[in-house]
Amino acid sequence: MKDPRIDPISPEERAEPVVVVPYDPAWPGAFELLRDLIAPILGELAAGIEHVGSTAVPGLAAKPIVDIDVVIRHADDLGEVARRLAQLGYTHLGDLGIVGRDAFRATPDLPRHHLYVCAAGSAALQAHLTLRDALRDDPELAAAYAALKRQLAERFRDDRDSYAEGKTAFITSVLLDERSDRRRAQRHK
């Protein structure tokens, strides 16, 4: 198990089995509640607050944990953003090896979520938005992703890291396909 000081998943959550559930129409409301809590304290530092991950895709099965990206204009603002989020009880965990995306652990009294702060234009932010939008735009792709996640959750019920790693090839494929599609579209303009 990873060092809990740098693990975005709380020890309690890590001890739980991986469970993928049918889409819950309450997930957008949970995002909105969290956005409405975070936005006022960050003020002008937040260029945007995005609902990302599987819970942001209507109809997609997911782990019942909302993923949120706070978009900041400049990476230099991260220190002040972390200070303000700490006022809400968030713990800054650092980038966890993903440049341009810092993780924050929430207090257990909030709806379950993972909070990330990403600089505008960062590769991590672009990957989150590209995957979300591709899944929203292509029901067949979303269904294939849901089937993969259910299979992985069954196989790696007690191993969150292997579950996450099992999705990597699919996600990478989607991101590469989307990049190729954008290049083709630009050539034909």
Portion of the chain with pLDDT greater than 90, in percent: 79
d(CA 99, CA 101): 6
- pLDDT per residue as tens digits for the range 48-70: 999 999 999 999 999 999 999 99
CB burial readout 13-51, b (16+ within 10 A) else e? beeeebebeebeeebeebbeebbeebeeebeebbeebbb
Give the pTM. Answer: 0.89
Kindly report which listed range (77-81, 105-109, 166-170) carries the lowest average pLDDT score: 105-109
- pLDDT per residue as tens digits for the range 24-38: 999 999 999 999 999
**Bridge pairing between strands 66-72 and 113-119:** parallel
Q: How many CB atoms lie within 10 A of CB 126?
A: 16
Q: What's the pLDDT score for residue 178?
A: 83
- pLDDT per residue as tens digits for the range 87-106: 999 999 999 888 899 999 99
Most confident of 4-18, 142-156, 172-186: 142-156
Q: What's the pLDDT score for residue 3?
A: 43
Kindly report which listed range (97-101, 144-148, 178-182) carries the lowest average pLDDT score: 178-182
Beta-carbon contacts of residue 69 (< 8 Å; ≥ 6 apart): 49, 50, 52, 101, 116, 117, 118, 125, 128, 129
Closest CA to 97 of 165, 6, 12: 6
* DSSP state string for 92-127: EEE-TT-TTEEEEEPPTTSPSEEEEEEETT-HHHHH
Q: Quick one: average pLDDT of 110-131?
A: 95
- pLDDT per residue as tens digits for the range 3-20: 444 556 667 777 789 999
Q: What's the pLDDT score for residue 97?
A: 86
